Structure 1
Amino acid sequence: MATLMLGTRFLQYIGKDGVYYRRTLAATQEQWPRMHEKTATKLRGLETRLGSFFAGDVRDYLDQVPSEAPLVMFPPFYSGDYTSQFAPLDAAFNWPDPTFGELDEAGK
């Protein structure tokens, strides 16, 4: 989990060219053991626990939510959003590809 949390800080720079991106990635690599341990320690200290987790498209999850329940969500807003959101993860990690449908007119 700590690796995924830290990924939000550096994955956006993967595959980009420029001095800033190279320096940021090099600094991240150099500081990785300390950053990972610090993040993992914070996560281990959390007392909040998930009651449940849904691994899927938020639009599919809506079918399971009672109509009177409050809900905040951030589905993809444009065609290709999921693909572009997952691209840095795909480039950095070997993980099972999620299944999803791209947003179309019917999904809007």
Structure 2
Amino acid sequence: MLPEHLKFDYDIIYIRIKKVVFDLVFSIIGVDYMKKLKSEKKLCLICMEEHEVDIVEMIDTEIFKGEEVTFKAIYEYCNVGDELLETEEMIRANSLAMKDAYKIMDGYKKL
């Protein structure tokens, strides 16, 4: 069993590796897993610079009630830092999308 401080580092590494794998797989099959919905010029809270920040939709996976749930999520994307950010509104919307996907998944299990 890993100590707690190593689990956090492992989670960050796992997320980064997962993103690299997604990038590789989707580039091979010619599909972009991040769909750009719009752009806004504003202060980016990731890099703290003013530039075009993309609002993107992508497929995300979370663990909810012990189950892996896949759903469409919306994030802000910083091209400078190559990172995603969730605003408070996006956190609420993504949480609801995940719970809706879980309900659908749970319904199929009961069939």
TM bucket (normalised to shorter chain) is under 0.3
* Structure with the higher strand share, 1 or 2: 2
TM-score (norm 2): 0.23
Q: TM-score, normalised by structure 1?
A: 0.24
Q: Please identify the structure whose Cα radius of gyration is greater.
A: 1
Structure with the bigger RCO (C-alpha within 8 Å, sep 6+) is 1
**Bigger share in helix:** 1
